Chain A
């Protein structure tokens, strides 16, 4: 390639990048739906597959088939739930927080957004969400974070993930960075993390629709930035239920060109 051709290609790539950025940060957010009402989106009784209450400090593992949803409810408004997921048929494919943030041009998850795997596919769609305050950057609690906070090791998300991974034949090498729901973390102008406690309320919930067959682990441990620890504990309710497959006009599928491509690539697994 000549120098001139290289420069031209670089300029074309920069133009495309700027167009994608403008769409991703200006157009897409305007098209995202309003948050779900706390009393909204009832689940039909005959759609419920199972219901589980996960006590404070504990974890639960769920197998979700494509088209099934997991509703996670912060009953008391003081919990955070860290989550990882593997593709059931090939567990080397797993939740990827970095790609989730990068591809959607945003570290903020809310209704209409998706959680991506490392293979450019959608694992989970955020089809209902009352709060829109979740963390993809800081991760869950660990032995070290509980020692730092309490002077002693308490139940924590890292050890929960280790136990859950082991029970499906996986190990510490398989634990990816996690997403934490009901964790209102943002950044100040200096890049320091800020906890926005006022944005949590009792009954907050998310509905996560599986777009492929998944093994999902949910850990109910206080987020390491939550200043309300150790009181930030309570049970969470998890409801596995049957949902609709993402239609052509699905709000998550149509949220952005990037989402549309990620859904199309996911659909190919089932073509």
Chain B
């Protein structure tokens, strides 16, 4: 698993369908998120490992970029205006950061009260963040890798079928030490997971030798 331009793989983990995950990425390390079976949304939050009050900010990211979608080259900006990470490879093409994560409470509003007792990304985030001393108030608007949410000029906003194929991946290279938190999205009420949540794989590579 050695790629001279990529650095050594130091960590591989399969995240089961519907489950959370987190790990600290050292500055220079690259996290590869692989949509193992395709059409699987991956919700993600980033916090500065040195001071978790500094965290990923969707609005700062979109303002700096001047455009609404996350893609190759996008800088992920913190609430203090600093670059936390960059998208350094992408075989999918487009990712969302405006739709937030699903929650029991928003599912009940969107899809009816019968969906309130279904597992949701916010449950995952709350549980995973609790391991790091963080709570619901620390959950901000997140990244949705492999989630396709076109916004048209009139403002229409639709979660449509995921465009990621099995094995598609996105690489996120850390520009500071970051706590990277993932919820492998359990949503079954819209097309973001093809109505069938599946496992994903994460790999971490060290920075390449200089």
Contacts and interface: CB of A to CB of B under 8 A. Distances in A.
Interface of A: 6, 9-11, 13-14, 16-17, 20-21, 25, 91-92, 94, 96-99, 101-103, 105-108, 116, 118-121, 137-140, 142-145, 158, 171-178, 186-193, 224-225, 258, 261-262, 265
A271 B89 CA distance: 52
B153 A186 contact: yes
A192 B191 CA distance: 24
Contacts of A91: 137
Interface stretch (B19-27, B60-68, B163-171): B60-68
Q: Name B's interface SS.
A: loop
Question: Chain A at the B interface: mostly helix, strand, loop or mixed?
Answer: mixed
Nearest to B113: A261
B12 interface: no
A177 B59 CA distance: 7
28 contacts: A17-B191, A98-B98, A98-B100, A99-B103, A107-B151, A108-B154, A116-B106, A116-B109, A120-B103, A138-B62, A138-B63, A140-B59, A142-B60, A144-B60, A173-B137, A176-B141, A177-B140, A177-B141, A187-B68, A191-B67, A193-B66, A193-B67, A193-B68, A224-B63, A258-B110, A261-B108, A261-B113, A265-B109
Nearest to B142: A98
Interface in B44-90: 53, 57-60, 62-64, 66-69, 79, 81
B156 interface: yes
A240 B138 CA distance: 30
Interface bracket on B? 35 or more
B138 to A, nearest CB: 6
